[in-house]
Amino acid sequence: MFDIERIKEIIPHRNPFLLVDRILEINEGKRAVGIKNVTINEPYFLGHFPDYPVMPGVLIVEALAQVGGVAMSNVESNNHKIGLLTGIDNCRFKRQVKPGDQLLLVFDVIRIKGQIVKGKGVATVNNELVCECEIMFAFSSI
């Protein structure tokens, strides 16, 4: 299990764009499971939407991609590189995410080809499906 300090050692994201609070499980190069505690203090709730706060779907996908970055971070060929989003396929949203929810974020690697990684991301709240998608990213030298 990785806490926020360990996550910050692995991926370059920082507040307010670090969207993973804890890693619960990691199988390097294959799978990672993380959580995001959604609070009313998130800066995006000021405008999305002031009277009906809902976490933007694009940020749910980004949180899944960050968990994917953690899964791939210790693969030898990715040391000292940054993962850049290259594609999102078959993305569907099934439930709104609101302050007080805890997102469970699962990223399973489907394929690795050179520096390109494709994986399936699934986000749930209380065992209810929130989002599922396929995410591709490429590792690039910093």
pLDDT along the chain (142 residues), means of 10: 94 95 96 98 95 98 97 75 94 98 98 95 98 95 81
Tell me, what's the pLDDT at 119? 98
Q: Which residues contact 80 (CB under 8 A, 6 or more apart)?
A: 141, 142
Tell me, what's the pLDDT at 142? 76
Tell me, what's the pLDDT at 100? 98
Active site residue 13: no
Tell me, what's the pLDDT at 74? 72
Active-site residue identified among 8, 22, 48, 95 = 48
Tell me, what's the pLDDT at 138? 94
- Interatomic CA distance for residues 135 and 117, integer angstroms: 8
Tell me, what's the pLDDT at 141? 86
Q: Which residues contact 98 (CB under 8 A, 6 or more apart)?
A: 38, 53, 54, 55
Tell me, what's the pLDDT at 73? 82
